[in-house]
Structure 1
Amino acid sequence: MSVATRCTKPPLAVSGYALPSEQEVLRALGQVKRRQRLSTKTVAERMGVAPSVVSRLENQRKHPTFETLQRYAAAIGCEIGLVVVQDGRTIF
């Protein structure tokens, strides 16, 4: 799933690639969670946190670290990654 290619008004662009906002990433992950009919409790158990932590994350009352976003994504069966591009070539 590539959220970066679908954002319309990115806060930042690097080498011509738009980076999605935190809200766009959470919105996309929330859609995946709903499609899979996962409960907040299930996601919290998979992440090893309290359901209230997941709720705050999903309601965007908490600003997650990239690591937290990755853990949330993994809990719903997704991955989040960044690509580093230099002179049109992917270097990482």
Structure 2
Amino acid sequence: MNIFKDIWRKIEFKWKLYKYKRSLMKFLKAIKDFQKMSEKYNKITYEYEKASKEFIDYLRRKNIQVEVEVQYVDQAQENEDIRYIG
């Protein structure tokens, strides 16, 4: 009887170890995916800011007066409104 219990315990241990490794690999993959998405988001944000500044510089070179208004929403998001002054 003890032999079967020992074998069963080893099987249970190996199964738990397998499940642990599998969940750990899923967790690490999720972290890597999050980092990739974060890098893409930062790149997109940088490109948007660069394009926005270039557009405002273009308007100023053409002597069009603009006023940039930055509104803070929920401390994390910024909304920019460009208004034509005249």
Q: TM-score normalized by structure 1? A: 0.26
> In terms of Rg, which structure is larger?
2
Q: Which has the higher contact order (CA 8 A, sep 6+)?
A: 1
Q: Larger % of strand: which?
A: 2
Give the TM-score of the pair, scaled to structure 2: 0.28
